[in-house]
Structure 1
Amino acid sequence: MNKSYVLQDFSEKEADIVYRLKTKDRNVIFYVLLELQSTIDYLIPFRLLLYMVEIWREIYNNTPHNERESKNFRLPPIIPAVLYNGAGSWTAALYFKEMLDSYRDFSGHLLDFHYLLFDVNRYSEEELIRAANLIAGVFLLDQKMRPEELVGRLQKLAGVLRRLTPDEFRHITSWLKNVVKPRMPEDFREKVDRILDASNPWEVERMIYNLELTLEEMQQQALLKGLKEGEQKGKLEGKLEGKLEGKREVARNLLLLNVDIETIVKATGLTPDEIAVLKKQLEQ
């Protein structure tokens, strides 16, 4: 759904993706609320509840008055899910009631739900490639990896991607935009957008090749930047060393003139210990 559910209490966070599914045999719409997490959020059951209420509130407000006042009016099911790609194990509560104080004392009278947890880094790469489906592909691409590993993952998934429908392929490219692209430098994100927007399942090799060229360009740029910064750092260090040697030379000359150490400290900025070392060298 092209809808963002930003809440006032969590203005820096939002429900990342909301899918709406209609079953084939019944006129039931499921809302699947998918929250993407790279770190453990111990408030996640409460946040999910707020998102769910926000969706239901919007549906209620957009339903004609006579329909929602009917005894047959029903709100759609919402299946909350969390996709976690952090390095450590997920330790937040899986049930909403666990956030309520003394919930065991009021069993059967409390609001509760259990969200689905997909811990993508707990799956092995071999398992996901063997599954050969859209969700396995998403999990594989969402696992912790360096940007340069992206092409290798996509090459392993090429056979799976080629068999996807255009709609399924759009989900993969959307995922790449939302999950993989933020790991890249900002000046390369627009290029990635253009490549993914122009891609389709039957030309997946071209997409991978273009992404590979972009990543290589990114790496070369990072290397050049590192070399440039190293060169500038070397020049700066050289200048500082030159200035320091100049101060030492002045201190030596003043020592030869029998100027007292306190005056030399004020004149050069060197410490008394540094001047003492220079004096000892002159006496040898």
Structure 2
Amino acid sequence: MAERKSWDSAYKYLFSSRQVFHQFLTRFVEEDFVQGISVDDVELVDKSFVSDELLDRESDIIYKVNLPENEVYIYVLLEFQSTPDKTIPVRMLLYILQLYDQLFRSSTSGLLPAVFPVLLYNGSRPWTVPFNLNELVAPRIPAKYIPSFEYYPIIERDIPPEKLERIKGLVAAIMYLEQQEDDAALKSTIDKAIAMIAEEQPEQLRQFSHWINRMFRGSLENNDIDKVHQLTEVKTMLAEVVDKIEQRGEQRGEQRGEQRGMQKKTFEYARKMLDRGFSIADIADITDLSEQEIRELAE
């Protein structure tokens, strides 16, 4: 899909809202401990607690969840490269160990809190990386000495569109749009995406609009987005962004057509010069074609 900006920064912005993160956690993580968690129970970890090194990476999000008897940290790694990275289990474990190091320094007594690792991947290629680190280690020693670390995978391409429509909500709508492979498909699914956020509050509607504008390099004014209160306004803005994407695509197509036309004329000019006995070196100097291209043309 055309004109997308950095996925990491767009999601980092989106998940800075604890309401959005709560929706992501409770609707996409199928584990018992997340059931019953309220928005008030989740808290974005800030720089007063965790080192700048952990928080400055655009691909990392850390939340603290206050459960009835203890607290749990949710660590989300955003992996939006087109090709799966086989080092992910090692990287995630390394980041969590750095987090534990920070927790150790600030802890006075008792056990360390649990850290729940989540991978969010939206690439188009299948996720082929093992879910447990021990599958990447050669079993040449007793298994008890090989680290066993497993992360929770959320692979967007593997979530059926029907399930996203059933889950509903802002995060599901965004994943639904991301699954569209081209701009034409994106435009045809606007109505379904809008229906999925029909129950969202005005604040979430504005967050959705801001995300769309960031994600697709829209030229919408943030002041206009901040005035959004109704679903119809979001639909209008989304349609406007898609139209501008299509216009830029058409402009790029016209530019490529013009470039191909100019290139064709250059080759025709070079062919005439060959017919008139010009040397390959002189033709290359005049047309800016390489000597290899001219030799191939002569053959």
Given the two structures, how large is their TM-score scaled by the length of structure 1?
Answer: 0.65
Per-residue CA deviation, residues 47-68 of structure 1 (Å, 9 max, x unaligned), is 001111222223333x2xxxx2
Contact map agreement 1:46 1:96 (CA 8 A) in 2: yes
Residue number in structure 2 paired with 1:205: 232
Q: Which of 219, 232, 235 does residue 191 from structure 1 map onto?
A: 219
- Judged with a 3 Å threshold, the aligned counterparts in structure 2 of structure 1 residues 174 and 107 are, in CA distance, closer, same or farther, namely farther
Q: Which of 227, 234, 256 does residue 261 from structure 2 map onto?
A: 234
* 1:34 is the counterpart of 2:67: no
Residue number in structure 1 paired with 2:157: 121
Residue number in structure 2 paired with 1:281: none
How far apart are residue 147 of structure 1 and its match?
4.0
Q: Which of 98, 109, 113 does residue 54 from structure 1 map onto?
A: 98
- Judged with a 3 Å threshold, the aligned counterparts in structure 2 of structure 1 residues 34 and 245 are, in CA distance, closer, same or farther, namely closer
Per-residue CA deviation, residues 31-60 of structure 1 (Å, 9 max, x unaligned), is 232332442111111000111122222333
- Judged with a 3 Å threshold, the aligned counterparts in structure 2 of structure 1 residues 196 and 173 are, in CA distance, closer, same or farther, namely farther
Residue number in structure 1 paired with 2:176: 140
Equivalent residues, number: 240
SS at match of 2:130: coil
- Bigger fraction of residues in helix: 1
Any gaps of 5 or more consecutive residues in structure 2? Answer: 1-43, 284-293
Per-residue CA deviation, residues 146-199 of structure 1 (Å, 9 max, x unaligned), is 245434444212233131245655765576467xx1xx4xxxx26257389526
Per-residue CA deviation, residues 226-274 of structure 1 (Å, 9 max, x unaligned), is 32442354245335424543653x45xxxxxxxxxxxx87999798x97
Structure 1: distance between partners of 2:148 and 2:180:
32
* 1:45 is the counterpart of 2:89: yes
Aligned-partner residue type, residue 84 of structure 1: Y
Contact map agreement 1:39 1:84 (CA 8 A) in 2: no
SS at match of 2:230: helix
Contact map agreement 2:90 2:133 (CA 8 A) in 1: yes
Higher relative contact order (CA 8 A, sep 6+): 2
Q: Which of 250, 261, 279 does residue 223 from structure 1 map onto?
A: 250
Deviation larger for 206-215 or 149-158: 149-158
- Judged with a 3 Å threshold, the aligned counterparts in structure 2 of structure 1 residues 239 and 89 are, in CA distance, closer, same or farther, namely closer
- Judged with a 3 Å threshold, the aligned counterparts in structure 2 of structure 1 residues 19 and 191 are, in CA distance, closer, same or farther, namely farther
Contact map agreement 1:45 1:95 (CA 8 A) in 2: yes
What percentage of aligned pairs have identical amino acids? 21
Given the two structures, how large is their TM-score scaled by the length of structure 2?
Answer: 0.63
Contact map agreement 2:134 2:149 (CA 8 A) in 1: yes
Aligned-partner residue type, residue 78 of structure 2: E
Residue number in structure 1 paired with 2:15: none
Structure 2: distance between partners of 1:79 and 1:122:
21
